[in-house]
Amino acid sequence: MKITAIRTTPLSCGCDPPYASAAGVQGRRVGLLVEIETDAGITGIGESGTGGGVTRAVIDRDLAPMLIGEDPLLIEGLWQKMFARTRQYGRRGVVMNAISGIDIALWDIVGKVAGLPLYRLFGACRDRVEAYASGGFYQEGKSVDDLAGEAEGYRARGFKGMKMKVGRNPSTQTHLRHLADHAQLCEVEPEVDIARVAAVRRALGSQTKLMVDVNCAWSPSFAIEMGRALEPYKPYWIEEPVATDDIDGSARVAEALATPIAGYETEIGLYGFRELIIRDAVDIVQPDLAWAGGFSECRRIAALAQAHHLMVAPHAFAGAVLLAASLHFSASIPNGLALEFDQNPNGLRDELLKEPISIDSEGTVKLPERPGLGIELDRGAVERYRSE
């Protein structure tokens, strides 16, 4: 079997009204669809992080010419070739985003050839995965009561966990603060964040998990202070409390707090996660399959996490293909903890697949039993959201 073509399709969907995390304001949701065609008539589907719109060029101009004519089942060999030949300008960032989408699509092909859903091909641990609602963003005019109402809605639908944003504070003591876009929009004092977390905890009750996501906004000492203030509300984890590259700072926070530290979606590749893991900077490991190197690399990251007795909760906050990939990944690793299930309005998650992924009343997502990722694209939706 040979690869005959690689197609990239940038997708975009507006957020109206926009919503904010400590990292910035979300005015659009974007994704990059990667489809790999073969001479056997099998097409693999993947999704890449868009890397500010540059990932597509890396695939089209650099990686596709390396892959056309190659056997799509030699995935590890192709992965290592792409990584090695981009070493001088790759290893992180958009090049790894690009490799990620290709890797996911290649694995979809293997699953289709084998006639097995990917999670079973990898050696399944479970056939359903607990999902948590990822929301709780800041929004202009959104009150603490509105946020509590959002949380109640997730609980009523069966979710066993919810993640909310914190950290959009003017007094974060971090030099990164002034670099966030629209820094003043929806900014709240830390006391307001504590009140928001308290309200969500009341709305969820004591049994539903509550995660808080700082998106790298705090300094280590401020994160320790805030982490202690949040302890009465029993956060299940605190996500990305400090800057991604402040590995020693994150380790200091993890050492000081009883609450587990999760992260860092903004890290990429096995070598990046190796530092977070061996230097005790995280308690829960969060690679994103569309950014960090696809199934191949994220399964290596999960194995390293397993060697350190750490759980893995993949970051997934883009389109439906990434969500499906994250589902298969979570079901196939021994240390899979939970599936991130974005709950903001997002056509790229809800409309791209003929059969969208959904949770059941138990708060779990059942794995599809069709071969590969087990998904079929709705071509009308792809055209509707195509941005170029």
Which residues from 224-263 bind Mg ion, rule CB under 5 A? 239
Catalytic residue (one of 35, 47, 103, 239): 239
CB-wise, 37 or 239, nearer to Mg ion?
A: 239
Shortest Å, Cβ 264 to Mg ion = 8
| Active-site pick, 130, 213, 267, 351 | 213
Nearer to Mg ion, 105 or 226 (CB): 226
Given 288, 297, 342, 351, which residue is catalytic?
A: 288
**Amino acid type, 216:** C
Query: Per-residue contact track with Mg ion, 136 to 165, x per CB under 5 A?
Result: ------------------------------
165 is catalytic: yes
CA distances from 148 to 89, 197, 229 (A): 45, 9, 19
C-alpha torsion 113→114→120→121, nearest 10: -90
Q: How far is the CB of 239 from Mg ion (least distance, A)?
A: 5
CB of 18 to Mg ion, least distance (A): 17
For Mg ion, give the closer residue by CB, 239 or 297.
Answer: 239
Active-site entry in 163, 165, 209, 328: 165
> For this structure, is 315 an active site residue?
yes
Tell me if 213 contacts Mg ion by CB under 5 A. Answer: yes
In the complex, what is the shortest distance from the CB of residue 179 to Mg ion, in angstroms, rounded to a whole number? 17
Residue tagged active-site, from 265, 267, 283, 351: 265
To Mg ion, the closest distance from the beta carbon of 44 in angstroms equals 28
213 counts as catalytic: yes
Q: CB of 275: closest distance to Mg ion in angstroms? A: 19
Note if 354 is an active site residue.
Answer: no
Span interacting with Mg ion, options 28-36, 152-160, 211-219, 345-353, rule CB under 5 A: 211-219
How many residues of this chain interact with Mg ion, rule: CB under 5 A? 2
Q: Which stretch binds Mg ion (CB under 5 A): 39-47, 132-140, 172-180, 207-215?
A: 207-215
- Site residues (CB under 5 A) for Mg ion? 213, 239
Residues assigned a catalytic role: 165, 213, 239, 265, 288, 315, 340
